[in-house]
Chain A
Amino acid sequence: MSAPILEIRDLRVWFGNPPDRVDAVKGVDLTVARGESFGLVGESGSGKSTILRALAGLAPTWSGTITVDGESLRGTRRSPAFHRRVQMVFQDPYASLHPRHTVDRVLSETLRLQGMDDIDRRIGKLLDDVGLGRGFRFRYPHQLSGGQRQRVAVARALAGEPALLLLDEPTSALDVSVQAEILNLLADLRVERGLTYVMVSHDLAVIGHLCQRLAVMQGGLIVDQLTADDLRAGRADSAYTRELIAASRSYAGREA
């Protein structure tokens, strides 16, 4: 096996100073292989999103080591190489697009920042790839539905042709039918482009659908790491994970 694309050792993230210091992540180890789709599951406040934010340089205070593709990260500064390698899709497509920027502006700015040329052609290609089509190029966010906005956010993340995509609850703000469309899109893109995913979600079924391996988090710690097959079969080490699986099952309907 080749070197892992992401390696996290003893990651701790906190906010504020004592006595108000809040420890959001309390010592997490993770390894994600190249081309893998990895899930992080937990309830709100479990620290799952915080890991992504620390990785992306959006959490100011953390300790431990994070290595992406051999590059060791420090603080909140990220190198241009990192920006090209790692991108993120945020939870709320209503908050992650600038309300006064058209789709064209969002994508062309991103492409320029990533040092791309041939911008017109690339924008068209990106819009086609995420299933929007070129007709959407000059729209403002308020002229788009939630699902369309999330597609734009995905296009923005893909613009620099990254290797690792961080997905922070990418469908939890969307209707279920739209969620299905976005999950299908993400699955297709991963195959086409050989991407690695790290996806955060509170929804076991969503993670089980898109990810091959996952970690369950509770109170800032990883309590379980298992494969999607383990998840479906209910093979989990910790009582907490079994509880989550049971809740998700009973919930999924009474026939069966």
Chain B
Amino acid sequence: MTDLSTRDWLLSAAPTTRRQARLGALYQGWLTFRSNRLAMLGLIILVLLALMAILAPDLAPYSPTAQNLADRLQPPSARHWLGTDALGRDILSRIIWGSRVTLFIVGTVALISPIIGLLIGTIAGFAGGWVDQVLMRITDIFLAFPKLILALALVAALGPGIVNAVLALAITGWPPYARLARAETLAVRNADYIAAARLQGAGSFRLLVGHVWPMCISSMIVRVALDMAGIILSAAGLGFLGLGAQPPLAEWGAMISDGRTYILDHWWVAAMPGLAIFIVSLAFNFLGDGLRDVLDPKGGAE
């Protein structure tokens, strides 16, 4: 019974407190999200991934860096569920520990690039005139370079390593977000509710932060979730080229790179981390689709 009344309280069309209004809006979104099965599957996979990263020391049957040359290139078996690599390290353990690296990359990039993009895009769209011109030309310059080449150049300049790889990806990743944020800003800039706030004496900063950003953020979140797969793959790409994580750190892209020499005779060495990347990328895509249902104002007409 209490369950039912909590639900009613959350779904109430007449909330009586600020907290109820906010929670109610969240709950509505959750219900929409939950009705999308694939999105839920994506969410579950990602929650499992997070748990795996947190509990890595307890879950991993072996140390990710312990070499055992006697056991090198063993196929999947009861002792090594996913086999071992060229140095006899347990692939399952390396994938489990690698999830930490993956989450670190994804989390950092997903935090940095959209925020840079949001700032530049909304300022450009809202200010207009020469500010817009200058900011968007800079964006164009970044967009004109192939992303991976630019990231490679940056890593080459900063030196290889996981942190620099993440920085390079973040710095090369923002231009599409800036474009998106600018487009959203242009759409809301002349809305009556902005005019009304302006007429109350609201300054540009307040309008930007309080009124324009909330309208941009939802489409940014969706975009980020959908881009996550690409970020993981780019990070794996850098790792594969030897510019990302440095040995012996377990990173999925670098693991594929190590495995490519043996791909014909010992397929599991490259395939297992590849499968991990595939599953996580897919999960982010599902999640992004679900978030779009919830957040995109165009699709979510009630």
Contact = CB atoms under 8 A, between A and B. Distances in A.
Interface residues of A, number: 37
A113 B193 CA distance: 15
A147 interface: no
B201 A138 contact: no
A153 B192 CA distance: 11
Interface in A135-158: 135-140, 142-143, 153, 156
Interface residues of B, number: 26
A100 B215 contact: yes
A109 interface: yes
B199 A138 contact: no
Contacts of B14: 135-136, 139, 143
B111 to A, nearest CB: 22
Contact of A100 (B197, B201, B214): B214
Interface in B163-214: 191-193, 195-202, 210-211, 214
B13 A96 contact: no
A102 B13 CA distance: 12
Interface in A92-112: 92, 95-102, 104, 109-110
A138 B25 CA distance: 11
A102 B192 contact: no
Contact of A138 (B15, B193, B195, B214): B15
A88 interface: yes
A83 B199 contact: yes
* Secondary structure call for the A interface: loop
B198 A138 contact: no
Nearest to B215: A100
A100 B300 CA distance: 13
Nearest to B16: A138
A164 to B, nearest CB: 12
Contact of B13 (A95, A98, A101, A139): A139
Contacts of A99: 215, 297
Contacts of A58: 195, 198-199
Given A88-B196, A96-B193, A96-B196, A113 B201 contact: yes
Contacts of B214: 98, 100-101
Contacts of A208: none
Contact of A83 (B21, B25, B201): B201
Contacts of A142: 302
Contacts of B193: 95-98, 101
A109 B197 contact: yes
Contacts of B13: 139, 143
B77 interface: no
Contact of A57 (B15, B20, B198, B211): B198
B192 A160 contact: no
A109 B196 contact: no
B17 interface: yes
B15 A139 contact: yes
B137 interface: no
Contacts of A87: 199-200
Interface string A47-87: 00000000011100000000000000000001010010011
B210 A114 contact: no
Nearest to A144: B13
Contact of B192 (A57, A90, A139): A90
A83 B112 CA distance: 38
Given A95-B192, A99-B297, A109-B210, A138 B200 contact: no
B196 A90 contact: yes
Contact of B196 (A135, A139, A156): A156
Contact of B211 (A98, A143, A156): A98
Interface in B208-226: 210-211, 214-215
A136 B12 CA distance: 12
Nearest to A135: B14
A137 B199 CA distance: 22
B21 A102 contact: yes
B17 A138 contact: yes
A81 B126 CA distance: 25
Nearest to A110: B200
29 contacts: A57-B199, A83-B199, A86-B199, A88-B195, A90-B192, A91-B192, A92-B192, A95-B192, A95-B193, A98-B211, A98-B214, A99-B297, A101-B193, A101-B214, A102-B21, A109-B197, A109-B200, A109-B210, A113-B200, A114-B201, A138-B15, A138-B16, A139-B13, A139-B14, A139-B21, A140-B21, A140-B25, A143-B13, A143-B14
Interface of A: 56-58, 78, 80, 83, 86-88, 90-92, 95-102, 104, 109-110, 113-114, 135-140, 142-143, 153, 156, 159-160
Given A83-B199, A95-B193, 10 more contacts: A57-B199, A58-B198, A80-B201, A138-B15, A138-B16, A138-B21, A139-B14, A140-B25, A156-B196, A160-B200
Interface of B: 13-18, 20-21, 25, 191-193, 195-202, 210-211, 214-215, 297, 302
Query: Which 7 residue pairs across A and B have the least CB separation, nearest first?
Result: A96-B192, A83-B201, A138-B21, A138-B15, A98-B193, A90-B192, A95-B192
